[in-house]
């Protein structure tokens, strides 16, 4: 488990460093809106994703209140591991350099096979999903600039949660719910089918992902069976809002 420990240390170190960076962030909603008009592109190299699967930043049982240990182990070591392996296999077959971040392929995924689309998307989405979660804390909610931006766009944190949860609950079949910054850097909520995501040129919703929720049955069925809404309700307790804020800061600062 040394790799896991090292990974967790690195994750915590990165989180601390980025938290410091956030401290010099925008001071008001008006400056946020002004920043939206800047020429900075709505992608973020600091969040580039390797084709390799990174170790989880916590143990399989760490999210137990919301996601049971068996689900986490199967989800990470079987489902997500397969997306990474198959994305590499597809990349080799299609002449894609896997030393480049996977985002480079997602942006022009229409040029590649459905195997690449499903597995590159699946790998990216899961790598982000693990980081979007952390062990349960009491009164878990966003703070600072992230909360201000959520309130400015959606009215309140409660209204945001309702809209995001509905995006997940009403996604027919398998897919994902997203909070993302659109190409005008405005916060948006939406969902994608299968393993699509807002970085893909084929996606109906486009922008830089800030928070994602896996609503495939494999993400919750062992504990919640058909009750997807109950899974989403519990999931709010384990959202890593510090990580979401880092992603937002990378876009708007
Ligand atoms: Mn999944």
- State the distance from the centre of ligand 1 to the C-alpha of 40, rounded, in angstroms: 31
Q: Please give the mean pLDDT across all residues of the chain.
A: 87
- State the distance from the centre of ligand 1 to the C-alpha of 154, rounded, in angstroms: 27
Mean pLDDT of 177-202: 97
Per-residue pLDDT of 135-171, as tens digits, reads 998 899 999 999 999 999 999 999 999 999 999 999 9
29 pLDDT more than 70: no
The CATH superfamily label for domain 69-249 reads Iron/manganese superoxide dismutase, C-terminal domain (3.55.40.20)
- State the distance from the centre of ligand 1 to the C-alpha of 164, rounded, in angstroms: 18
- State the distance from the centre of ligand 1 to the C-alpha of 79, rounded, in angstroms: 6
Per-residue pLDDT of 89-112, as tens digits, reads 999 999 999 999 999 999 999 999
Under a CB-based contact definition with an 8 Å cutoff, are residues 53 and 80 in contact?
A: yes
Q: Which long-range contacts (CB under 8 A, 24 or more apart) does 232-235 make?
A: 232/165, 232/168, 232/169, 232/177, 233/165, 234/65, 234/66, 234/67, 235/66, 235/67, 235/133
- State the distance from the centre of ligand 1 to the C-alpha of 221, rounded, in angstroms: 11
pLDDT category at 18 given cuts 50, 70, 90 is: very low
pLDDT category at 253 given cuts 50, 70, 90 is: low
Per-residue pLDDT of 211-252, as tens digits, reads 999 999 999 999 999 999 999 999 999 999 999 999 999 888
In angstroms, the CA 122 to CA 86 distance is 10
pLDDT more than 90, % of the chain: 79
115 pLDDT more than 50: yes
pTM for the full model? 0.83
- State the distance from the centre of ligand 1 to the C-alpha of 157, rounded, in angstroms: 26
- State the distance from the centre of ligand 1 to the C-alpha of 80, rounded, in angstroms: 7
According to the model, what pLDDT value does residue 252 have? 80
The residues with which 176 forms a beta bridge, in sequence order, are 192, 214
- State the distance from the centre of ligand 1 to the C-alpha of 75, rounded, in angstroms: 6
- State the distance from the centre of ligand 1 to the C-alpha of 126, rounded, in angstroms: 6
- State the distance from the centre of ligand 1 to the C-alpha of 96, rounded, in angstroms: 24
In angstroms, the CA 55 to CA 128 distance is 12
According to the model, what pLDDT value does residue 21 have? 35
- Residue 167, judged by CB atoms within 10 A of its CB (0-12, 13-18, 19+), counts as buried
Mean pLDDT of 172-192: 97
């Amino acid at each position: 488990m040394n790799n896991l420990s090292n990974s967790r240390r690195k994750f915590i170190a990165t989180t601390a460093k980025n938290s410091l960076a956030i401290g010099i962030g925008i001071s008001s909603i008006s400056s946020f809106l002004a920043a939206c008009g800047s020429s900075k592109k709505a992608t973020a190299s600091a969040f580039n994703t390797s084709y390799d699967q990174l170790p989880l930043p916590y143990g399989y049982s760490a999210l137990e209140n919301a996601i049971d240990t068996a689900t986490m182990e199967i989800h990470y070591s079987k489902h997500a591991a397969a997306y990474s392996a198959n994305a590499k296999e597809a990349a080799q077959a299609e002449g894609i350099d896997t030393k480049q971040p996977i985002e480079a392929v997602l942006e022009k995924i229409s040029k590649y096979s459905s195997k690449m689309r499903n597995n590159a998307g699946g790998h990216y989405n899961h790598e982000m999903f693990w980081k979007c979660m952390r062990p349960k804390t009491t009164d878990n909610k966003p703070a600072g600039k992230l909360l201000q931006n959520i309130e400015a766009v959606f009215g309140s944190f409660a209204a945001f949660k309702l809209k995001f949860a509905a995006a997940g609950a009403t996604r027919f079949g398998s897919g994902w719910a997203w909070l993302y910054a659109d190409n005008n850097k405005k916060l948006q909520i939406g969902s994608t089918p299968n393993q699509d995501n807002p970085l893909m040129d084929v996606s109906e919703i486009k922008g830089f992902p800030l928070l994602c929720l896996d609503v495939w049955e494999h993400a919750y069925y062992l504990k919640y069976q058909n009750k997807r809404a109950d899974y989403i309700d519990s999931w709010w307790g384990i959202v890593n809002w510090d990580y979401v804020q880092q992603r937002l800061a990378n876009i708007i600062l």
